[in-house]
Structure 1
């Protein structure tokens, strides 16, 4: 059970890093550091969007952007952290 808990925790950590990477890249695009007309930038953003959109969409239905700021990544990270703590804690006690 410890191996399953470790792998689950690792998967959640990697997904959280992908979310943080997506947020940083979106800021860099807004500030003009990254040009989305570049094919590699388009490929990277497309991949990250495919990974994050399935989780973002249900959250965005209930929580719209606040003052033009999308807080979906923050809510998803908090939810994943809580879910990881509960599930991994339960697996370690088995």
Structure 2
């Protein structure tokens, strides 16, 4: 069971890294026309889009800031700690 947890942990770490890179790319204004930017976008958008939609449906006005990456990382951490409690 520890091996399964470790594999999931590595996967979550990779996803978190991609989200951080996406945040950095947005600050540097690296667009999605770039092959690396496109890859990062395609890997993170399935995670960020539902969170962004939930924020919108809850009526939370974040202005020009997108808090979906922050919420996604927090949710990944919560899920990982729940899995840790179950699997280890």
1:18–1:48 CA contact under 8 A, matched in 2: yes
For the pair shown, the structure with the greater C-alpha radius of gyration is 1
TM-score, length of structure 1 as denominator length:
0.81
**1:57 & 1:20 partners in 2: Cα distance?**
16
TM-score, length of structure 2 as denominator length:
0.86
Greater relative CO (CA pairs within 8 A, separation 6+) = 1
User: How many residue pairs end up in the alignment?
Assistant: 84
Does the alignment pair 1:91 with 2:78? no
- Mark the runs of 5 or more structure 2 residues left unpaired by the alignment: none
- Mark the runs of 5 or more structure 1 residues left unpaired by the alignment: none
Does the alignment pair 1:81 with 2:57? no
Name 2:14's counterpart in structure 1.
14
**1:90 & 1:47 partners in 2: Cα distance?**
33
